[in-house]
Amino acid sequence: MRRPAAGTWLLALPVLLLLAWTVLYPNAAVIVGSFEGGLSHWREFMASPADREALTSTLVISIASVAASLVIGVPLAFLLTRFEFRGRRALRVVATLPAALPPLVGVISFLFLYGESGVVTRGVQGLFGMEQSPWRLTGLWAIVFVHAYTMYVFVFLFVSAGLERFDTSLDEAAAGLGASPRHRLRRVTLPLLLPAIAGSMLLVFMNSLGSFSAPYVFGGGIRVLSTQILASKLNGAMGLAYVETTVLALSAIAALGLFRLLQRKQRVVSTGKGTITRRAIRSRPLQLVLGIAGFVIVIALILPHLMVVLVSFARDGAWTTQVLPPEYTLDNYRRLATDAQLWRPISNSVVMALIATAANIVVCFLAAYLLVLRRFSARPILALLVALPWAIPATAIALGLAATFNQNDLWTGRIVLVGTFWILPLAYFIRNVPLVATAAESSLRQLDPALEDAARGLGASWWLTMRRVVIPAARPGLIAGGLLAAVTAVGEFVASIVLYTHSNRPISIEILAQLRALAFGTAAAYSVLLILLVLAMAIGARTVEEQYA
Amino acid sequence: MRDAPAGTAGSGGTLSLRNITRRFGAHTAVDDVSIDIAPGELVALVGASGSGKTTTLRIAAGYEQPDGGSVAVGGTDITRLPPQKRGFGMVFQHYALFPHMSVEQNVAFGLEARGIAKRTRLERARTALAGVGLGGAGGRPVQSLSGGEQQRVAVARALVIEPRALLLDEPLSNLDPVLRQSMRDDLSALLRRANVPALLVTHDQEDAFAIADRVAVLSKGRILQDGSPTELYNNPASLDVARFIGRGALVPCTISGGRAAVKIGGRELSFPVPRDATVAGGQAHAILRPELVELADAGAADAWQGMVLARRFAGSTMVYRIELAPDVVVEVTGGDDQAQLGARVGVRPRGVPVPVVGG
């Protein structure tokens, strides 16, 4: 049956060591670093009003983002899965579009739209003849606004999937037993959707907790933990940065634990085969209202993308006080392709993403193989190591790397990577370990474990079994997961801003630099390029999944 | 919640489906179906999948609206009434038990919807559970129940609301064969005790014959025949009905003077037809059932000649499958060791009336 443990350990040990070294060790170094000099850094943190404010705002923003995402995502999911109307499919596709915006790009597009000199802001101002702009996109609520736009997609997708799996005969049974629609929603539908809702809430919460770009770009006076960490690091107050990082990571892990507890309380239920019956909306007035609402929603959702595309054709420096950019040109794109300085970030991002993803595919395949098809005592530890980067905000991961790989000391397992090209691929690799490993695991789970034994029983060597049975089984997950990992790596911003150097600066950092130089057109051209890359790879991942499904 | 009717057992009156028609695009799923079910009567709607039986049931329950026709209970039209206001008890094919509730919470749900106080409804739920033989199971999670237990919970949940009618969608199809036999009897007894009109949908004619008072055979959305199990068995109205009921070879015959003649392999034998047979003369099909024919010696003058294809042990008897001609295979009950596999044998009518069907 199961191979003797020795062979398994031969494979498991390098994987465990590598992950412990890159995933666990840096975070441990941060915690240890926070206690350097006793409790003085912690006292400093406690005494700092700025840090206390940062902790509070981080939590408030995260909770508000979860609430806002629920308010948008849940009704939209119900509307698009339970009812049939014209344009439903199109609306479904559009509803997921915000997820195709790399974090920084979403923030920028909001700046172009709703910022003080944004198109919508100026449009409203002009329309009503106001002296001043009607609102200011800054502060806590601005951050929540952007979060809600980009993160409601999690809620929407989770709840839609939950509803599609929902066994409608349960709802019918409840109706037959005399329950009113409201009673059914409260007692049957919502309780059964709770696992899906809780799962998406956790995702939004974790993302908001670690969110960097929105607070960084238009936080105004608002401090959050992730921006505080960077500020402390830039000020050279590494001890304080370590404390802040530890607090951020602990909040994330606490949130994770809390949600797990909640989910365990609710007996998780998968209701097997779902037969969806969509109610056709027949009433004319309702159709009209829905049509208009749908149109408005589509425009609101797609506007950020359109805006970035539009601005990417605007001549840098020409757009000042007008509602829309006055002059259009292809120069921005031409410059990206011809100016070596501008091309550099693109090639950097692509090369670093490819290196990180290649490493992800190899390491995560081995980890998934060990987790799914092998039994050995250190299996729970491996599972933990693989999942850990998911629970730790990117800023914290980056700071851990900065704290660990800043000196050559082989005895403590440290080498200098900070300031070199390799630090960013490493950061990208770590961030994507959970994603690629989960994808590979789910593919391998569909492989009957007996198949491997059968192949061996037929006389196939370990390597032949691997090549002909195991790797082909993992392939769809590895390709889909790898593509998604490449997408996140190409647009990565949060870890990059902590670790980049001038020579390996990725696209996101360059976008920020162009924005600072008020070269909106160039920044937008980069953004469009990123969006196209993201879309291409997302479509690729989906095609792969469908092909193997 | 107050609008849910508090039905009283037996007081609802007859459930009537009148000229029900339902179209899906160009396809007519239910075509002019009419059934009346009296209180205490159990009618089975049988048909192959896609025959429209489930759609008919869903229209009766209110989950679907008919394009034509009406549903009435005790003379009151309820065609446009939503399911939650009909006060019917429904048992779903996969039982549709609420997975996040305990067994008694499931059973009490209909009472909860009627605004009945928690203590009362749980008490009544427990009584109902005891009635289906699940007295102590109230606190258990539904996932821990076996298929048969789940089915009984579903029945208790439908009965506890004192429904005006009971509707059952393939209630036995998810049970294993042994359990199925005993559940047929239990279910039949439970439904009769409720004393309300009961409509059961099944693709299995054995289930239908075993528990229903009346069986309606549905094909392509139309009712082919509606009658007691004996009527259907002994006097099917058409070849389609005969084929659906099965358990016999359909062999072409000629009828004259109360007897049918069948010619196989050049040998013509005749036998009586039932007195109430609807076909009086001409071409028809005889339904040669295993118990209506017997084995004879090979070469016997008063028997068709054939070869034993298979033998099947059926408890007290043995069923032999015999090929009389390339397209005529009959089954014959006989003694334990009357013929070996591959042996040449004769088959002859026992002389008892054999049902016939026109066409």
Q: Does pLDDT of B118 surpass 80?
A: yes
Inter-chain touch A173–B92, beta carbons under 8 Å: yes
Asked if A267 lies within 8 A of B89 by C-beta distance, the reply is: no
Confidence of residue A5 (pLDDT cuts 50, 70, 90): low
Average pLDDT over residues A204-208: 92
Per-residue confidence (pLDDT) for residue A549, from 0 to 100: 59
pLDDT at A277: 67
**A315-319, B102-106, B184-188, B327-331: the lowest-pLDDT one:** A315-319
Q: How confident is the model at residue A476 (pLDDT cuts 50, 70, 90)?
A: confident
pLDDT: which is higher, B21 or B4: B21
Can you give the pTM of this predicted structure? 0.81
pLDDT for residue A4 is more than 60:
no
Q: Which of A9-18, A217-226, A274-283, B278-287 has the lowest mean pLDDT?
A: A274-283
Spatial contact of A460 and A500, defined as CB atoms under 8 Å apart: no
**Residue keyed to tokens 């059973």:** B107
Residue B209 pLDDT greater than 70, yes or no: yes
Contact (CB<8Å) B83/A172: yes
* pLDDT over 80 at B3, yes or no: no
A93 lies within 8 A of chain B by CB: no
Residues of chain B with CATH 3.40.50.300: 15-234
B241 touches chain A (CB under 8 A): no
- Using a 10 angstrom Cβ sphere, with 0-12 exposed, 13-18 middle and 19 or more buried, the burial of residue A412 is exposed
Mean pLDDT on B183-188: 87
- Residue recorded with tokens 């238009």: A218
Is B139 an 8 Å CB contact of chain A?
Answer: no
CA distance B169 to chain A (A): 11
Distance CA A250, CA A233 (A): 19
Q: What is chain A's mean pLDDT, rounded?
A: 87
Across A198-218, average pLDDT = 89
Contact B244, B208 (CB under 8 A): no
Restricting to A residues 175-234, those with a Cβ less than 8 Å away from any Cβ of B are: 175-181, 183, 187-188, 191-192
- pLDDT value at position B8? 41
Contact residues for A4 (Cβ-Cβ < 8 A; gap 6+): none
Question: Which residue intervals of chain B bear CATH 2.40.50.140?
Answer: 247-358
Assembly ipTM: 0.81
- Is B174 in CB contact (< 8 Å) with chain A? no
For testing the chain B interface, which of A169, A170, A177 should be mutated: the one with the most B CBs within 10 Å? A177
Would you call B83 and A267 a contact, using CB atoms and an 8 Å cutoff? no
Task: Decide if domain B247-358 falls under CATH 3.40.50.1370.
Answer: no
- pLDDT over 70 percentage in chain B: 97
CA distance A488 to A483: 9
Residues of A whose CB is below 8 A from B87: 178
CB A400 within 8 A of CB A27: yes
**The length of chain B, given as a count of residues:** 359
- Determine contact: B83 vs chain A, CB below 8 A: yes
How far off is chain A from B324, nearest CA to CA, in Å? 46
pLDDT at position B331 over 80: yes
Q: By the CB < 8 Å criterion, does B61 face chain A?
A: yes
Enumerate the residues of chain B whose CB falls inside 8 A of the CB of residue A181: 84
- Indicate if the pLDDT at residue A544 is higher than 70: yes
Query: A267 vs B114: CB contact, 8 Å cut-off?
Result: no
Backbone angles phi, psi at B344, to 5 degrees: -90, 130
More confident residue, A239 or B177: A239
**Exposed (0-12), middle (13-18) or buried (19+): which is A408, by Cβ within 10 Å?**
exposed
> Bigger pLDDT: A413 or B90?
B90
Considering only the beta carbons, identify the residue of B1, B4, B96 that sits closest to A173. Answer: B96
pLDDT value for B10: 41
pLDDT, position B86: 92
Using the predicted structure, report yes or no on whether residue A169 has a pLDDT greater than 80. Answer: yes
Q: Which residues contact A260 (CB under 8 A, 6 or more apart)?
A: none
What 3-state DSSP class applies to A55? helix
Q: How far is A481 from chain B (nearest CA, A)?
A: 33
Q: Which residues of B116-139 are buried (b: 16+ CB within 10 A; e: fewer)?
A: beeeebbebbbebbebbebeebbe
Mutate to test the interface with A, among B55, B88, B95, B100 (most CBs of A within 10 A): B100
Mean pLDDT to the nearest integer, B159-167: 93
Distance CA B136, CA B242 (A): 45
pLDDT of residue A373: 85
**Distance between A436 CA and the closest CA of chain B, angstroms:** 33
Residue A135 has pLDDT above 90, yes or no: no
pLDDT in tens, A104-118: 888 889 988 988 888
Reply yes or no on domain B15-234 having CATH 3.40.50.12780. Answer: no
Half-sphere exposure of A411 (CA within 13 A, CB side): 0
Looking at the partner chain, which of A169, A178, A273 has a beta carbon nearest the beta carbon of B84? A178
CB contact under 8 A, B83 and A192: no
Q: Are A134 and A51 in contact, with CB atoms under 8 Å apart?
A: no
Give the residue-averaged pLDDT of A166-190.
90
> Which of A134-138, A230-234, B48-52, B84-88 is least confident?
A134-138
Lowest mean pLDDT among A410-419, A526-535, B42-51, B302-311: A410-419
Q: How far apart are CA A193 and CA A270, in angstroms?
A: 10
| More confidently predicted of A457 and A531 | A531
Does the structure show a pLDDT above 90 at A246?
yes
Enumerate the residues of chain B whose CB falls inside 8 A of the CB of residue A180. 1, 3, 84, 113
